[in-house]
Chains A and B, each alone.
Chain A
Amino acid sequence: MPETIKVAVLLEHHEGDEKWTAHVPTLESQPDSTFIPLAEGATPEEAAQALVPEIQTGTGMHPDILPHLKRAPQFALTEIAVEIPDQNA
C-alpha cells in the first residue's frame, strides 16, 4: 500500500548561482544517514520537485531513512540589529 509522507525541504540559493538546491535537513543532520538526497532546479519549486524521485529511490534502497524523513525540523528566520563599530576610528 503506497504511503504519502510530508518531507520538510530546505531550499538554498547563493548569489551568482544559476540553480537552487533542495536539501532534506533531517537527513543531513544525521551523521550516520545512509542516504542524502539533493536536487537542483532553476526555481525553488523545480528544485523541490526534483527531490521527489530522489527520495523515492532513496527509501527503496535505504529504508532506514524513512523515520528521519518523517521528522519535522524546526526552522527559524529572524533579524537582529547589529551596530558595527567604525573600524577606521
Chain B
Amino acid sequence: MPDQIPTEARQLIHQFEREEAQRVAAKAAARNASSSKEIKIIPRRNVTARDVMAHAMNIGCTIETGSGKHGTHIKGPDGREISLPVHGKGSVLATGTALSIDKWLRRYRETGVEPPKPVASPNPSLAKAGR
C-alpha cells in the first residue's frame, strides 16, 4: 500500500514528521527548563546610602546628617523629611528602604526641581577693564 503513495506526498509526510518531532522536542525542553529547581535571581543593583544622597541632592533635596539621637534624613525643598538609615555611607540599603525612599523622592523628580546653580565668580579681567 505505501508504494502507492506518490513520491511528492511521501516527502511531505516525512517533512511533517520531522517538524512534528522538532516541535515535541522543543516543547519538552521548555517544560524541563520551567520546572527546573534552580532559582534564577534577577540581578539587581545594590543601592547604597551614598547613591541615594547623591541622587537626592541632584534633585534639590538636602541631607541632614544624624546626631546622637536620630539618624540621617533627606529633606525636600518643601521641608518634608524621610529617614535615610545609614550604616556607613557605602552600606547597601535593604530593598524595602530603597523602594520607599525612591517613591518619596519621586515628587521632587517629577516637579523638576533644579539643583542650586553655583554663583558665578566675578571675572577679574572684566573688572579691570571697567566693564
Contact = CB atoms under 8 A, between A and B. Distances in A.
Interface in A5-52: 12-21, 23, 28, 33-40, 50
A74 interface: no
A38 B100 contact: yes
B69 A39 contact: no
For chain B, which range describes its interface: under 10, 10 to 19, 20 to 34, or 35 or more residues? 20 to 34
Give the size range of A's interface with the partner.
Answer: 20 to 34
A34 B85 contact: no
Nearest to B80: A34
Interface of A: 12-21, 23, 28, 33-40, 50, 53-54, 56-58, 61-62, 87-88
What 3 A-B pairs are tightest by C-beta distance, nearest first? A21-B96, A12-B96, A57-B70
Interface of B: 27, 30-31, 34, 41, 69-71, 79-85, 87, 92-97, 100-101, 104
